[in-house]
Amino acid sequence: MKRNASQQGISLIEVLVVMVVLTIGILSAVRLFPVGFFINKQTEARTLASRLAAQELGRYSTASATLMDAVLPAVIVPDASSPTGYYIRVDKDVTPDDLGTPSSTPPGVDPYYVSGINRIRWIRGETVRIPNPSPLGGGVRGSVYVLNSGPAFDYPGLDANNVPIDSIVVTGAPLRRRAQSSDDPNGPYVRNNTEYAIDYDSGLVGFAAAPYDRVFKVTYSYYGAGGEVMTVAAAQIGVAASPYPVWQPIYPPQGRDIVPGSETISRAFVRVPYPPSFSSDPYEYSLLPRSAMVAPFATVGVLIFNPIGRDHIERSAYGNTPLTARIDYNVLDWHIIREDRSLPGSAPYKVRLTLKNIKQAGEYESDQRKYTGIWRSADAPQVSVLIYNLATGEEVPASAYTVDCREGMVTFSDAFGDAYRSRNESPVFRFYYKAHNDWGVQVQKAASKYTMSIGNTSNLGYGDFYLGGGASGGQATRMYFPLMEAGKSVSIRELWYYSLNSLTNTVTLRKATNGTYRINADPSGFESLGFGPMTWLDLQDNHHSVTDQAVGWALDQPVVVVRGVEGLSFKVRVVWNGGSSVTRSGGANVSNLRWRRNDLDTFLTRSSN
């Protein structure tokens, strides 16, 4: 017996010795061949990045009826005359590849939220027909919609007329413009609620009479101090109930002049308190109150529309159409990952997320700062993961699931999952979280349409183009755009140009239809035509044969030279920190990040609702 026990003891020692030797061998191999292990790690990261990008593209493609008009770079500009102390302006000189930091930010604004992939975050015109209504509990009934790219900034305030305004702006279809003078003592002349009047010299907008208060969203361009065109992403005008048409002022920054013809005005939906007591006005919505898990400056973006809006027909510049909401908002943080998953068919109700190593509140990050949760604030709730039911907009209570952060696995309790299955429901949940290596998933989109600038000059605002050879010069075959459009693709329904036939040495007027062009993305090719650098597309990209060599736009002909310029591009960009170092300097930790990215480019346009 002793001999057998001795043999067992020796066997155990041998096993331990072998384990030590193997461990030393593995560590030695890592030190001898670090490049190979680094390559494997980066290969895995790129595989995950491709998976995230494809998944996000699939999510937007499936919901293409709700696709936004554009995703815009924005800058926060201090303005003492603004009710909030600042305004948000389209930063047209930021290229799609700019992952830097703005030259300045207003006091109280964390630069993190306006830097890197968060530089391009203004969602303009996320479009949804009012959904079918459903009961929401507590006797509340409404039409639920969850923002595609939430969480969003939420900073409600008051406009210059002391009317409440929202950081999430929801509007109907654009109104028709009627330019006129405000000197008429009879007030503005507008035939109905589908029109507005505007006096550019006085900075006044006129609206039709209505027996209830209204709010209108105004997007417009104005002339800066140097005469350059600037674009305000969204301003709001409150209009009190009146039996007569009324004039209301617009307040451009620093009292500047509005660029004639640049404005778009739409009736805004009014946010009512929750739980909503909706009226007979279909232009109403409520925002599901933030829970104790959501920061005071953020909202996941669960909108509840007045259910009568589902069947309401809106009269607009486009004719009679079902009431459709267009939603503008600022994405809070593209580093908050969004993933949609269905509840498994049976227990165990386990859901695997794409990324492992989910950040957990209380852990330390690479720069040795304590991670305070997805809201990035010690004063906000310390939250690692949020889950929402997309059908009801309800937040799933943390008591209903557990999270294995290391493996990226969420397990719902049997009681929670069985309750849905007993009702034959198959809910889809949206998961919000952050992962180590600072992963982020951003989307970019070309504008849904572009129009020629006023007078065809190179003084461009959002959605403008300039035809070369016009008042500002430039190459005669090029169409110029602000830098924020670099690398995007557009389609042109119809254009007129002069064409050279090299065989006969003759120039003729030609018409081309339904062409696709890519805007130049090479910074070395940017041109300056008096109002800062611009990029361009060139007719010769499509018309360069010996019998059809484009030589210039037909600017001297009695035709509309260009019609129907529409954006096609849709990009999903995934970024992650591929390695960092921390240096202690001046009593603080300085983190040097090595950002990597993976881009997935395609064509994607809005389908019909």
How much is the mean pLDDT over the chain?
A: 89
pLDDT at 258 over 60: yes
CA–CA gap between residue 199 and residue 202 (Å, rounded):
6
Which residue is associated with the tokens 């959605």?
Answer: 463
For 183, other C-beta atoms within 10 Å of its C-beta total 8
CB-CB contact of 390 with 340 (8 Å):
yes
Instruction: Walk across the sheet containing 195-199 and list its strands.
Output: 176-179, 195-199, 204-207, 246-249
CA–CA gap between residue 178 and residue 188 (Å, rounded):
9
Confidence of residue 32 (pLDDT cuts 50, 70, 90): low
Q: In sequence order, which residues have a C-beta less than 8 Å from that of residue 174 and are 6 or more positions away?
A: 264, 265, 266, 316, 317
The token pair at 415 is 């009681």
Confidence of residue 435 (pLDDT cuts 50, 70, 90): very high
The token pair at 251 is 């307040």
The token pair at 323 is 């009431």
The arithmetic mean of pLDDT across residues 521-548, rounded, is 96
The arithmetic mean of pLDDT across residues 286-309, rounded, is 95
The arithmetic mean of pLDDT across residues 345-355, rounded, is 97
Confidence of residue 37 (pLDDT cuts 50, 70, 90): very low
- Between these two residues, 499 and 578, which has the higher pLDDT value? 499
pLDDT at 401 over 70: yes
Full-model pTM: 0.85
Q: What is the pLDDT of residue 570?
A: 98
Task: Return the amino acid letter for 465.
Answer: F
CA–CA gap between residue 139 and residue 137 (Å, rounded):
5
pLDDT at 2 over 50: no
Confidence of residue 116 (pLDDT cuts 50, 70, 90): very high
Backbone angles phi, psi at 66, to 5 degrees: -105, 15
pLDDT at 35 over 80: no
Could you write out the DSSP letters of every residue in 208-243? Answer: --BSS-EEEEEEEEEE-TTS-EEEEEEEEEEE--BS
User: What residues are paired with 411 via a beta bridge?
Assistant: 350, 402
Confidence of residue 6 (pLDDT cuts 50, 70, 90): very low
Q: β-strands 246-249, 204-207: how paired?
A: antiparallel
The token pair at 285 is 């919505």
Highest mean pLDDT: which of 183-187, 219-223, 401-405, 455-459? 401-405
Query: Which range is least confidently modeled, 27-36, 127-136, 197-206, 523-532?
Result: 27-36
